[in-house]
Structure 1
């Protein structure tokens, strides 16, 4: 199947189906591997009713005028005798190699057109020329002439081109495949479709080029497809796409290839540097014109670019080493501006024949001024040029850190793989493991190995196995404890994240003890923040909320005070997490938002998914469900792009929960399918998925199943399982347990109560009161009082959804206590809020309760105006015109509260749910 080419296939079918009414032509333009030849094959396959003439432009015949035309027309040249004598003679002479004078070009074009008309007398004719721009120019000109004059003949022409297509013809530019079509193409080619993160990585590596995807599929292993090993970062240079570029390269003049090599080695792509380097070699950038026609390069006003990274890689790979070295030295010689310090050093390093400590130091110094992925490349090369084992290892660790920050997980892992992971040997002895390529033999200081373990643990935490992450992070804390206490504390905090992710919070006490041993009085704010965070989380997990509260609030304060280099995304994330634990949701949201902004400013893509996760949780507690979903969607995109499979699973779980809470079954189930059975039991993604399924169970009337799922999330008091997720889900657990008449919520509610009472959050206390109302005897004064206490506690300016849920539950309680009149007020408020929030299934529940309470809620009456009072009709008309409640109040000299009251009555009388339905209901 031709994935992602639906529009182009339709164009071909229209072309062929319309031949009875006259001919036409179409051109497909695209880079190598984009599917041009596949579209020509598609046209041949669907041309069963046509005779077919097919040819292709050959670079080997580009200097032979009309060679392509001769190969195309040769099958029907025997019918040239049916043409007028002058046309027949001219056509035969030109196609025999005699050439065509310029003044006879028009006559030749008409002769070719007439020959196609003769050939099409018996049956419609399809003519195709693949790569028309690669062959001789004379053929391309004649075919374009013919293709523009087919209206009265049953002849279709399909041409493909890489560079500028023939003018005056309908042209389709073949765009890169999107991720969905890329996934479908991989599924077509592989016995086992890759998991979603691997598909995303392959789609990015291919740049949406179909042949690049096919080449990547050809080198994938089962481990790659399952995400057990990082997938290839680029298509193989010896694949079909690479060979296509090589074939084009082989046809170019020597001067063009030398200039292409300069362009391929100049990562910046600035024409100024190329022009100067070419001038040094006695050439001009104009010699790139043949390469541009061949689709190997694009020369733009301020930049020289390649259509695909494979093209650049092939050009560099096939050049002899002496020519590559000379090109690097020539580029280094013209990059004398201080702004190009790193570029110059990289070119000199590429030309270096052996170790060069001075050049290594220059590379390192230049890299530290720019950061990002290029700094990683420079530091790796500096390590290769170095001689001191300690400096070599340190540079590799720095290179891995920059690669990880830039989101290149595969590169970070490769760089770390060359460093020892076992405890370092005593000074003066060989390391415990052989070192990787580029590392000189010799001892590596514990500080360097500790930094490597810290980064290795962070990568495993986000992308791999949490047990391995914990081991690496604890080893890092051990190695760094004496020399870099601040980093040792960071390692412990990361280990704590890993334990919470995997549901092993009972091990957090040991981390806190080790953190206390490392803490000192009068620490800098960022160090105090980390040590205090460890102590506060540990106290929270062991249930000592009196100690946890002050410590975590101190972390929030410190997070807001961080400045300069101390203000990192990681520190802000820990402060945001502390804010969530003490229920200061607004502060937690601000800190998480700052972490997101800082990660973007500093291009620390690896830090974004965690920051967005915390922002989404804060938005959930603030009642901003759509904002939370958007944060998680962005977090999911970033996690997938950076290979953070664990972070991606968390965001999918959060999206599933948000969809379930809003009763969006389809979206919830889609996210659950994406999660699959990959997450380990009791991990955070698993717990979020269980929470989402339980909410759907509750909505569908299966409270026993919901209660069982939610009760199994954790075992309060043991520190096992997802305690914090269960705390978030406790209101649903209590509701399910009450409906199922099960006592499974007692321990979880006790924990929730202690947490809610230790905070200053009215929304948490409102939820606690609602839970106790549900567990009180039905119809009792206690139940009603608890519900009303919850309504008093719900903030007016936030958490509208949870307030509406409380209104709905109170309405149900009053109706079942045979107080329908009292129930209707609360049910109306719940219905209106759910309607305004777009929570349709919840609004349906409120509607059902209203009907059971004696209200008639149904389809709007067509004569809606007759059902309203004069004041209500005027308000309804203004709403239909798009006015807000505040604007209506100002125009009618009413309070906004009065307008709200009238609008609720209008909705009820008309049996509608939204302002949009109101506009449709009015005549």
Structure 2
């Protein structure tokens, strides 16, 4: 039976072994499985991974482990895991193949985006598993590099039908960063009987039974502790358990135990272990060459092998990571530098320039410009592969070695920018502080200030973010006009999102930005438009904002979506809104842009809600949620709020609204308060609870949040008119007219006609209802159109025109029911019943047997997408798409794609 901790048989663990056996059965039968083994150091996670590998049988097993010294080398763990699979690389689509080859340094190319690499790894796993079931094992996740962690977590959430097992082992509690919601197997201590048997195997003499019980209790059955802590202790020490009571964490005590065992070895053997610990790859040839440089004979490793601390085969493998860390910490600074120097000398700078530079950097005693230059070049290579975190690590070490203070300042600033780009804003302030200890020119000072403000905006995007951005923008005005303009736009955007909680930040930001000449590019025009919107009022700003939207043309402009999306709403440009969000999703998917895609998915989902495509919107939000868990990049909550409101399920909707309000208050994001108020008003209007809708809309309309205010006025008119508050309805209608008249689009004028019908002269109501329906029919706004038909039908019924009312109400009811707008559907159903018509109950079998994912795949297949295209859009492997399509065919009772469109229509 496989080893538990490097020498004993695997004891007990029936539950754990059964779980792993079932996992292997699923994989052999064509299903993918993901599992996280979680437990404290020494609990036996690695032994269980060994068991899994040995039981894999005919499966292909590929394995990697995080190593603390490697944690800053981009893709190091991922590359080791994928190395046996690279023969499948030519089978991937060209963009994915090129991205992975670039990330691994096999081919030159532009920096690949993380999502594209994730799709490539997913495809690589699927292609390999098509030949042979695949088991991928990742040990010590807490030490793998950041990019490997992001990619593997992404892949773990997209595996489905590829015959792949992806099994992680992570310390707990709190060491893992991104695996928290994946299937988990807790690896705790052994049961008492097994623990006592394991302890007995490690004891060299008799121990009192009560002392033995205390040792078992104190170690909580941790196998490594049971084996290691008794070693090196005298009978007298054992007689009292582990000596005097200790508050030291168990892992530290085990490492101390390994340290004592290492200290008892010959000096040359200790040096061998140190060299093996510092050389993280486990390259045996490299280790022997380094030992030769250090004047150490290879057989010096024999005592460490005999002690069971290290194994040497095709690779060097420590019994446990705590042995590596104990060997590392046992050395003094000078000894560590000597080992790094030897490893640098035997590492080929042409084949492995980054590790060569890394070892040289740690061998340096003081400033060394040559090594700093090597590290800077390594940072460039890491950045070219998309490894921003690794680039930051190289630059940070280069900063420490640079002799020239000005160069040190530039490197520290570059490291800070790399940390920020890598999604680690919390690590930026210390680097900026290091830069400020050096002489900075005016432009560098301004960039430091700008980056500090950007960090503040990311960490706290509410009311406190605007002022630092404004200060930074002011400093950049005479130094870098383009950077100043972009920073003013960020400041203005921050103030827009702070909204009612912004303490007049919007006016101050706009006044400051107006003093700066703005360019005619998208950034400049958008800045001009938002300044006009803030200071000159809505009518004056609409032409400027439309000009800015018209200037958007490049993929780079799509990064402005967080502002241009709300602007398109604000000027009632539904066609532009759809075009922008569709382009943003398409572009970010094609490029694999981790930074843009969450926002793009959320904003596209919002557009689809208004278009009445709730299922598609929900699919995108599910995708954004999965992406957010994998990358910790959350999309904007606006679409989730709207979808919850219009689905009409009161309790979950209100829970979401309350959570959003609480979060918005804490972060100072006033626009979210407006959004939550609008959503609450829409929910209650749908449910026919008009007093509650009126109160919610009144509160939301107290501040003119961009885009949200337009929608809120419509809800306020309807709620007030239905609740008998005619004066409130009239005022809201008039305020809406000030905006819709200048906007002039069919969407705007259709919304205004509906408000006029509700709150205007009764004699003109029918003509205005008809105008609203006609204008909204010319747009993609199917949800507002259905609401207009509902209100017209309600009016017709009250006019005792039951036949005409049925026509409008039936159309509205069918539309709401098809969308999934249950609250409005029930309201329309009640009105229909009042006309004397029997309302058909919804057929629960109509397509409900297709899951959301299956339905989306079916729709894409009907649209003519191939399996690889569907997979790229949904972040699935083509083989998983094929598997889901087979399930769809079976559920629909068809045999091919040719029948799919008809079968979906029939349902």
TM-score normalized by the length of structure 2: 0.59
Offset from partner CA, 1:676-715 (integer Å, 9 cap, x none): 6242277122222223333333344432232222222244
Query: CA offset at residue 726 of structure 1?
Result: 2.2
Offset from partner CA, 1:588-637 (integer Å, 9 cap, x none): 44445555676678887555554555444444444444444455555566
> 1:346 aligned to 348, 358, 374, which one?
358
Query: CA offset at residue 379 of structure 1?
Result: 1.5
Query: CA offset at residue 391 of structure 1?
Result: 3.5
Query: CA offset at residue 482 of structure 1?
Result: 0.9
Distance 2:324 2:711 in 1: 51
Query: CA offset at residue 201 of structure 1?
Result: 7.0
Establish whether residue 536 from structure 1 lines up as the match of residue 529 from structure 2: yes
Offset from partner CA, 1:502-559 (integer Å, 9 cap, x none): 1158644544444344326xx5x6xx32221111112234464554334333323432
Establish whether residue 736 from structure 1 lines up as the match of residue 719 from structure 2: yes
Q: Is the alpha carbon distance of 1:304 and 1:751 closer, same or farther for their aligned partners in structure 2, counting shifts above 3 Å?
A: farther
Query: CA offset at residue 782 of structure 1?
Result: 2.0
Do the aligned partners of 1:406 and 1:603 also contact (CA within 8 Å) in 2? no
> 2:453 aligned to 430, 450, 457, which one?
457
SS for the counterpart of 1:444 is: coil
> Map of 1:702-781 to 2, 5 A cutoff?
702-715=689-702, 720=703, 722-742=705-725, 743-746=727-730, 748-759=732-743, 761-776=745-760, 780-781=762-763
Residue of structure 1 in register with 2:766 after alignment: 784
Q: Is the alpha carbon distance of 1:917 and 1:531 closer, same or farther for their aligned partners in structure 2, counting shifts above 3 Å?
A: closer
Establish whether residue 410 from structure 1 lines up as the match of residue 410 from structure 2: no
Do the aligned partners of 2:646 and 2:824 also contact (CA within 8 Å) in 1? no
Q: Is the alpha carbon distance of 1:308 and 1:813 closer, same or farther for their aligned partners in structure 2, counting shifts above 3 Å?
A: farther
Residue of structure 2 in register with 1:515 after alignment: 513
Distance 2:611 2:548 in 1: 20
Establish whether residue 360 from structure 1 lines up as the match of residue 372 from structure 2: yes
Residue of structure 2 in register with 1:380 after alignment: 396
> 1:683 aligned to 658, 664, 670, which one?
670
Residue of structure 2 in register with 1:659 after alignment: 644
Distance 2:305 2:735 in 1: 70
> 2:498 aligned to 497, 502, 516, which one?
502
Query: CA offset at residue 835 of structure 1?
Result: 2.2
Answer with 243-252 or 372-381: which moved more: 243-252
Q: Is the alpha carbon distance of 1:808 and 1:759 closer, same or farther for their aligned partners in structure 2, counting shifts above 3 Å?
A: same
Query: CA offset at residue 663 of structure 1?
Result: 0.9
Residue of structure 2 in register with 1:850 after alignment: 832
Offset from partner CA, 1:868-892 (integer Å, 9 cap, x none): xxxxxxxxxxxxxx999x99xxxxx
Residue of structure 1 in register with 2:156 after alignment: none
Residue of structure 2 in register with 1:85 after alignment: none
Offset from partner CA, 1:796-842 (integer Å, 9 cap, x none): 67332222222222221111211111111122212222222233333
Task: State how many pairs are aligned.
Answer: 643
SS for the counterpart of 1:732 is: helix
Answer with 246-255 or 653-662: which moved more: 246-255
Q: What is the CA RMSD across the aligned residues, in angstroms?
A: 5.3
Larger relative CO (CA 8 A, sep 6+): 1 or 2?
2
Residue of structure 2 in register with 1:584 after alignment: 573
Which blocks of at least 5 consecutive residues in structure 2 are unaligned?
Answer: 1-12, 20-34, 48-164, 190-247, 845-857, 864-901
Q: Is the alpha carbon distance of 1:616 and 1:7 closer, same or farther for their aligned partners in structure 2, counting shifts above 3 Å?
A: farther
Distance 2:454 2:524 in 1: 18
Do the aligned partners of 2:409 and 2:438 also contact (CA within 8 Å) in 1? no
SS for the counterpart of 2:728 is: coil
Residue of structure 2 in register with 1:328 after alignment: 340
SS for the counterpart of 1:677 is: helix
Do the aligned partners of 1:407 and 1:641 also contact (CA within 8 Å) in 2? no
> Map of 1:534-683 to 2, 5 A cutoff?
534-542=527-535, 544-545=537-538, 547-561=540-554, 567=556, 570-571=559-560, 573-592=562-581, 605=594, 609-632=598-621, 650-651=636-637, 654-672=639-657, 674-675=659-660, 677-680=662-665, 683=670
Residue of structure 2 in register with 1:425 after alignment: none
Do the aligned partners of 1:207 and 1:308 also contact (CA within 8 Å) in 2? no
Establish whether residue 33 from structure 1 lines up as the match of residue 48 from structure 2: no
SS for the counterpart of 2:532 is: helix
Query: CA offset at residue 173 of structure 1?
Result: 11
Query: CA offset at residue 481 of structure 1?
Result: 1.0
Higher Rg of the two aligned structures:
1
Distance 1:593 1:294 in 2: 59
Do the aligned partners of 1:770 and 1:790 also contact (CA within 8 Å) in 2? yes
Query: CA offset at residue 492 of structure 1?
Result: 0.7
Do the aligned partners of 2:611 and 2:783 also contact (CA within 8 Å) in 1? no
Do the aligned partners of 1:766 and 1:791 also contact (CA within 8 Å) in 2? yes
Do the aligned partners of 2:477 and 2:516 also contact (CA within 8 Å) in 1? yes
Q: Is the alpha carbon distance of 1:855 and 1:477 closer, same or farther for their aligned partners in structure 2, counting shifts above 3 Å?
A: same
Query: CA offset at residue 373 of structure 1?
Result: 0.8
Do the aligned partners of 2:567 and 2:706 also contact (CA within 8 Å) in 1? no
Distance 1:812 1:347 in 2: 77
Query: CA offset at residue 205 of structure 1?
Result: 14
Do the aligned partners of 2:646 and 2:686 also contact (CA within 8 Å) in 1? no
Distance 1:453 1:560 in 2: 30
Establish whether residue 810 from structure 1 lines up as the match of residue 792 from structure 2: yes
Do the aligned partners of 2:816 and 2:822 also contact (CA within 8 Å) in 1? yes
Residue of structure 2 in register with 1:695 after alignment: 682
Distance 1:453 1:378 in 2: 23
Offset from partner CA, 1:75-129 (integer Å, 9 cap, x none): xxxxxxxxxxxxxxxxxxxxxxxxxxxxxxxxxxxxxxxxxxxxxxxxxxxxxxx
Distance 1:444 1:735 in 2: 59
Distance 1:531 1:641 in 2: 34
Query: CA offset at residue 728 of structure 1?
Result: 2.9
> Map of 1:486-497 to 2, 5 A cutoff?
486-497=482-493
> 1:481 aligned to 477, 484, 498, which one?
477
Residue of structure 1 in register with 2:8 after alignment: none
Distance 1:541 1:291 in 2: 73
Do the aligned partners of 2:589 and 2:597 also contact (CA within 8 Å) in 1? yes
Query: CA offset at residue 775 of structure 1?
Result: 1.7
Q: Is the alpha carbon distance of 1:604 and 1:547 closer, same or farther for their aligned partners in structure 2, counting shifts above 3 Å?
A: same
Do the aligned partners of 2:569 and 2:707 also contact (CA within 8 Å) in 1? no
Do the aligned partners of 1:176 and 1:208 also contact (CA within 8 Å) in 2? no
Query: CA offset at residue 575 of structure 1?
Result: 4.6
Residue of structure 2 in register with 1:466 after alignment: 462
Do the aligned partners of 2:36 and 2:182 also contact (CA within 8 Å) in 1? no
Do the aligned partners of 1:211 and 1:240 also contact (CA within 8 Å) in 2? no
Distance 2:322 2:737 in 1: 60
Q: Is the alpha carbon distance of 1:818 and 1:804 closer, same or farther for their aligned partners in structure 2, counting shifts above 3 Å?
A: same
Distance 1:261 1:785 in 2: 87
Offset from partner CA, 1:218-252 (integer Å, 9 cap, x none): xxxxxxxxxxxxxxxxxxxx854465566568767
Do the aligned partners of 1:824 and 1:850 also contact (CA within 8 Å) in 2? yes
Offset from partner CA, 1:369-397 (integer Å, 9 cap, x none): 43211111112112222244443333333
SS for the counterpart of 1:466 is: coil
> 1:824 aligned to 806, 827, 836, which one?
806
Q: Is the alpha carbon distance of 1:175 and 1:727 closer, same or farther for their aligned partners in structure 2, counting shifts above 3 Å?
A: same
Offset from partner CA, 1:259-298 (integer Å, 9 cap, x none): 7766765677888977876787789999899999989999
> Map of 1:1-16 to 2, 5 A cutoff?
8=15
Do the aligned partners of 1:734 and 1:774 also contact (CA within 8 Å) in 2? yes
SS for the counterpart of 1:679 is: helix
